Structure 1
Amino acid sequence: MSQLPASPSRREFIKQSAAAAATFMIVPRFVLGGKGYTAPSDQLVVAGVGVGGKGESDIAAFAKTGKVRIGYLCDVDDRRAARSVQAFPQAKYYKDWRQLLDKEAKNFDAVSVSTPDHNHAPVTLAAMQLGKHVYVQKPLTHDIYEARALTEAAKRYRVVTQMGNQGASGDGVRQLQEWYDDNVIGNVHTVYCWTDRPVWPQGIVWPAAAAAVPPELDWDLWLGTAPSRPYVDKLVPFNWRGWWEYGTGALGDMGCHLLEAPFRVLGLQYASAVQASVGSVYVDEFKRGYFPESCPPSSHVILTFPKTAKTKQEITVHWMDGGIQPERPDELGPNELFGDGGNGILFIGKKGKMMASTYAAEPRLLPTARTQEVRTKPTLARVPGGAEGHYAQWVDACLAGYGNHYLSSPFEVAGPLTEALLMANLAIRGYDVQRPRATGSGFDYPGRGIELLWDPQQLRVTNFEEVNRFVKRDYRPGWQ
């Protein structure tokens, strides 16, 4: 695919974006044609890009509001798209999102993006350049650079944005915030978030044997920005999450659901430092294996955040995945579930503790008997429908127009949150950075055992240059 010339608006965006050290996105022909039309006030026409799996349930939730017409469907895999095609028979179907936007831009108002992580950013930016509102599945992007660029672009193009971490609209996180604001647990200094993910293969070597590409799948389009390589069995539709070229591991899958509550409750923004330890696997009886292409089977990451307007000191946030959990609080009964058993959030304050499950659901004070005993005045408006109302909230905001309706996870909120979890991945990936030993035999791992110091203005680690290559990856030629 040949590259297209940059439009004046694209050059202007690159100059003005705080994060734009270099170009990284496709700007297809449709950008040259100007922005699309404004939606009728009573109906939003949505185009879905990636309409199997979570994308299928997303567009169904939009349609359920009664205010949306699903006008266009796009997926590189006809098998994955089949149920959505059946559910919306009047919607026109495309395989290539670039063709969809090129040919149909004047006929829809908003785009729902639910591709694998590595293709979120180019689809989203291209839609925003057309003036289209966007709903993007979590994590917002694959790279830190992309997250900052999309956050800046949302302001520039003045479109309605929402990330698909529906717990941000739930009642639970608002209850946690009200308890904290009312000083029920005192000043929080430490937070733990944990998950039993991954539930897909990680910590493995790339399969040696290539497999036949399923006839319904356009493998080249699926790869998109990622390097070209042969298809391997069972990578699609789900196991891509465990490979760094496409996914972001357990952090990308669950981080936006679990870290969102600490961000909202404590007013966190950009982390200042991160360190990690990771699990390894045995490749034979005597040797442990590390496979840098694949996310590790488990990890423990410690993020440090500067003091905020809602805290009295720096905040330490622990992330644990692969089934690792923090020590059970003394205030929790021996038979009481910690979080929801597999996932959870724990806030530790000077006066007490509070915890929640996935999506910040089931908020509880510790000991749990306090949950019913403590009464705080509700101060925060609830989103109609709670977590499930996340979809209708975005629809209503799109119909109201930019800046006219409250959103739980617009890019100005979702961008910094995504940057934090991707920064945690920097530490995980840095742990496995390999450098040949001076003796010429084997490898050293210089990223282990150090704390990465982060400059959020320059988007770079200041004390370990080798890991900065993961801040902004190189796109495949033709997809820059």
Structure 2
Amino acid sequence: MTEKKETTANGASRRDFLKSTSVAAAGIMIVPRHVLGGKGFIAPSDMLNVAGIGAGGKGESDIAAFAKSGKANIAYLCDVDDRRAANSRKSFPKAKYVKDWRELLEKDHKNFDAVSVSTPDHNHAVIAYHAMQLGKHVYVQKPLTHDIWEARLLTEAAKKFKVVTQMGNQGASNDGTRLMAEWYDAGLIGDVESIYCWTNRPVWPQGIQWPTTKAEIPKELDWDLWLGTAPRKDYVDKLVPFNWRGWWDYGTGALGDMGCHLVEAPFRVLGLQYVKDVQASVGSVFVDEFKKGVFPESCPPSSHITLTFPKTAKTKGDVTLHWMDGGIQPERPEELGPNEKWGGEDGNGTLFIGTKGKMYASTYSDAATLLPKERTKDAKAPQKYKRVPGGASGHYAQWVEACLAGYGKMEVSSPFEVAGPLTEALLMANLAVRGHDLKNGAFKYTWDNKAMKVTNFDEVNQYVKRQYPAGFELKA
């Protein structure tokens, strides 16, 4: 091109990138290729060509799981950190390696069919949305997004662009969540009004001050690309690859890390949707014997959050869900004997309290159990919900198969129409946590779901949607 281009990190043209994605969104590329046929058509019997954006850590295991299905070809690998991508590059030497996801989507989008997004939380939405604009099926690690507005955007985009979507909360494909839904539907625990979900997270630093000492950026890491949609800051030691979870600019804390696993069952069992109101009580860090530390950039060391969901077709009234992290747990059920273990023994659990009984499960809805425990062995409930072959491990192959079948042809466990509202509820809880500092204490926030805003304290609405830096804009 002869016109002057506005370039971003690594020389990628932001003008070209936005132009290419907008053209695709306005034209043929928004129609699934299984409908169009012709060049690039993927028949159900062929391989799904996948681009893995985020190739280390959880991204590495996700990519390997797609390949293990036998129907996915890992065609591209993309990561801002060469160190993190090293294992995946060895495992898939034929895959083209790209560092900038914008370059990948702009220049190579005709050569793959689907995208896996496994980056820090703050970059999930911008990558996934631009891939969806190009007609790509997407698999996005949990939590689906960093902000409430982003979750709503991706939920609507899945239908608009007619692509197959799946969030990476693999427990949604486990038998346990379906078994508990069948127990509930059969009336074995009566009507549920209260639920408790808890985790042993965080297992990374939270409730701390942002480091004041700069560190040298590793030569293998493109720091500007890693920051992506986040505010520009100097690199600090030990933030990458894991401790970013405890900082609001990048992560969503303990709730974002484990909530999609533990709150999925209540959503499925009770048909929950959007939050009605929320309030939070958070733990504090004392910098000395008398002075409490307040570090608004960092997620708190512990919290107890109460969310109210309106009545659904499967409940008789509102449902209260308690979220607990940082070592806080609900009262041990009286139906358990003194030496009996229960779902919380692994540090994570979900407990349903019904009018006729209780049931619980551990991480990924494993170890689903009725209380008292002897009820589980004799429980009789008709099987209503189809199981996913392989359970949690089959979550990946399920998405691959659905992509090959085409949009609307096959059910998946955590499509954005389900994962979006679930993520919004968790981010509403985080909104109350962040509002705790603004209000200097617990406060019940009421939520207007249609307008996507808190109605009784406007200052906290700044956390519903972020501002995006140049080169990483997210525009509907």
Q: Distance in 1 between matches of 2:23 and 2:231?
A: 28
In structure 1, the partner of 2:36 is none
Superposition pairs of residues 137-286 of structure 1, within 5 angstroms: 137-286=141-290
**Could you tell me which amino acid in structure 1 is paired with residue 149 of structure 2?**
Y
Distance 1:313 1:6, change over 3 A: farther
* 1:29 to partner: Cα distance: 2.9
Identity of aligned residues (%): 68
In structure 1, the partner of 2:140 is 136
Q: Does 1:458 align with 2:458?
A: no
Answer yes or no: is the 8 Å Cα contact 1:28–1:102 preserved in 2. no
Superposition pairs of residues 258-337 of structure 1, within 5 angstroms: 258-337=262-341
Q: Distance in 1 between matches of 2:399 and 2:92?
A: 20
Q: Distance in 1 between matches of 2:470 and 2:385?
A: 48
Q: Distance in 2 between matches of 1:461 and 1:450?
A: 12
Aligned equivalent of 1:396, options 377, 397, 401:
401
In structure 2, the partner of 1:105 is 109
Answer yes or no: is the 8 Å Cα contact 1:219–1:231 preserved in 2. yes
Q: Distance in 1 between matches of 2:132 and 2:116?
A: 12
Q: Distance in 1 between matches of 2:58 and 2:344?
A: 22
**Could you tell me which amino acid in structure 2 is paired with residue 38 of structure 1?**
F
Answer yes or no: is the 8 Å Cα contact 2:14–2:471 preserved in 1. no
Q: Distance in 1 between matches of 2:89 and 2:176?
A: 35
Deviations 1:351-386 (A, max 9, x none): 000000001111000111111022222121101111
* 1:449 to partner: Cα distance: 2.8
Aligned equivalent of 1:32, options 8, 19, 23:
23
Answer yes or no: is the 8 Å Cα contact 2:7–2:14 preserved in 1. no
Q: Which moved more, 1:446-455 or 1:303-312?
A: 446-455
**Could you tell me which amino acid in structure 2 is paired with residue 32 of structure 1?**
V
In structure 2, the partner of 1:81 is 85
Superposition pairs of residues 59-98 of structure 1, within 5 angstroms: 59-98=63-102
Answer yes or no: is the 8 Å Cα contact 2:122–2:146 preserved in 1. yes
Q: Distance in 2 between matches of 1:477 and 1:110?
A: 26
SS at match of 1:250: helix
Answer yes or no: is the 8 Å Cα contact 1:354–1:366 preserved in 2. yes
Q: Does 1:473 align with 2:466?
A: yes
Q: Distance in 2 between matches of 1:185 and 1:265?
A: 12
Q: Distance in 1 between matches of 2:380 and 2:277?
A: 37
* 1:6 to partner: Cα distance: 9.1
In structure 2, the partner of 1:414 is 419
Q: Which moved more, 1:248-257 or 1:36-45?
A: 36-45
Answer yes or no: is the 8 Å Cα contact 2:277–2:309 preserved in 1. yes
Answer yes or no: is the 8 Å Cα contact 1:39–1:45 preserved in 2. no
* 1:5 to partner: Cα distance: 9.0
In structure 2, the partner of 1:378 is 383
* 1:269 to partner: Cα distance: 0.2
Q: Distance in 2 between matches of 1:362 and 1:326?
A: 18
Q: Distance in 2 between matches of 1:2 and 1:259?
A: 42
**Could you tell me which amino acid in structure 2 is paired with residue 237 of structure 1?**
P
Answer yes or no: is the 8 Å Cα contact 2:21–2:133 preserved in 1. no
Q: Distance in 2 between matches of 1:28 and 1:251?
A: 36
Q: Distance in 1 between matches of 2:373 and 2:319?
A: 24
* 1:447 to partner: Cα distance: 5.2
**Could you tell me which amino acid in structure 2 is paired with residue 453 of structure 1?**
T
**Could you tell me which amino acid in structure 1 is paired with residue 43 of structure 2?**
P
Aligned equivalent of 2:370, options 351, 365, 371:
365
In structure 2, the partner of 1:124 is 128
Q: Distance in 2 between matches of 1:416 and 1:43?
A: 31
* 1:28 to partner: Cα distance: 5.1
Q: Distance in 2 between matches of 1:121 and 1:374?
A: 42
SS at match of 2:70: coil
**Could you tell me which amino acid in structure 1 is paired with residue 299 of structure 2?**
C
Distance 1:316 1:6, change over 3 A: farther
* 1:477 to partner: Cα distance: 2.7
Q: TM-score, normalised by structure 1?
A: 0.92
Q: Distance in 2 between matches of 1:176 and 1:28?
A: 48
In structure 1, the partner of 2:37 is none
* 1:113 to partner: Cα distance: 0.2
Deviations 1:424-475 (A, max 9, x none): 0000000012xxxxxxxxxxxx252320000110000000111000000111
Superposition pairs of residues 439-454 of structure 1, within 5 angstroms: 446=439, 448-454=441-447
